[in-house]
Amino acid sequence: MSDTRLNKYIASSGLCSRRKADELIESGVVMVNGKKVTELGFSVKPKDKVFVNGKLIHPVKHEYYRFYKPAGYITTADDEKGRKTIYDLLPENLHKLKPVGRLDKDSTGLIILTNDGDLINELTHPSAKVPKLYRVSINGKISQKDIDTMYKGIEIEPGKIAYAQVDVLDFDNSSTVMEIVLHQGLNRQIRKMFEHLGFEVVTLKRVQHATITLDGLKRGEFKPIKPGQIKDLRNFLNRIASKNA
């Protein structure tokens, strides 16, 4: 193993992303071989011991899984209210993995699970604008005016404007089924947008996040993401980053 930049070493432990690691280094909570390090370009040698907030960390092998979240579970490891979480459905060896973004209790669909802090940051940072695809049904017939309003933006909270691209798949006078693309990650964004328009969301399922899809998964099921799929995902994220640069 060759020398490794300190922020990359910290990120490879699964603790956080490299960007967050830089913040930890600058804040003075990182020590290497008993000495505080605040230099961002510092390199770690193979036998060095790195501590963050007094805890010894080690690089770990990155793992990537797809999970089909059913309704009735919240996307967190612990809940003060004692509600069921997605980790109640996952084996203990996957409890160390973190969800990439969240789905609320009543929503279903794809959640990516990983210990790769850099990838989590790339997929969820607001500046990345990574697309997420949802299948949504509402109680009523949506109009073109409503679709245009969602595309132009709706203020769902003071100072928070939410945007969505809507493609209607089926409708009648009592319901509409749509595919919706988001490039943001605001809390309960789709539900709040439809509430603003006077509709109630009946079902909401995430079917794709970047290049990773729900295909081949049953509710409550999880599967490893293949190395080739991770390579395609990274290439996709690199293209997005180039466009946003």
Same domain? 160 vs 188: yes
The pLDDT value recorded for residue 243 is: 82
Same domain, 117 and 219: yes
> Final residue of a domain: which of 57, 76, 96?
57
pLDDT exceeds 70 at position 128: yes
- CATH assignment at residue 93: 3.30.70.580
Q: What are the tokens at 39?
A: 């230099």
- 226 with 117, same domain: the answer is yes
Residue 109, token pair as written in the block: 């669909």
**73/93 same-domain check:** yes
Domain total of the chain: 3
Question: Which residues participate in catalysis according to the annotation?
Answer: 104
State the pTM of this model. 0.86
* pLDDT tens sequence across 178-216: 999 999 989 999 999 999 999 999 999 999 999 999 999
Task: Average the pLDDT over 42-65 and give the result.
Answer: 93
Same domain, 141 and 202: yes
Q: Are residues 73 and 101 in the same domain?
A: yes
28 within 8 A of 43, measured Cβ to Cβ: no
Domain that holds residue 168: 132-209
CATH of the domain at 48: 3.10.290.10
How far is the C-alpha of 245 from the C-alpha of 226, rounded, in Å? 29
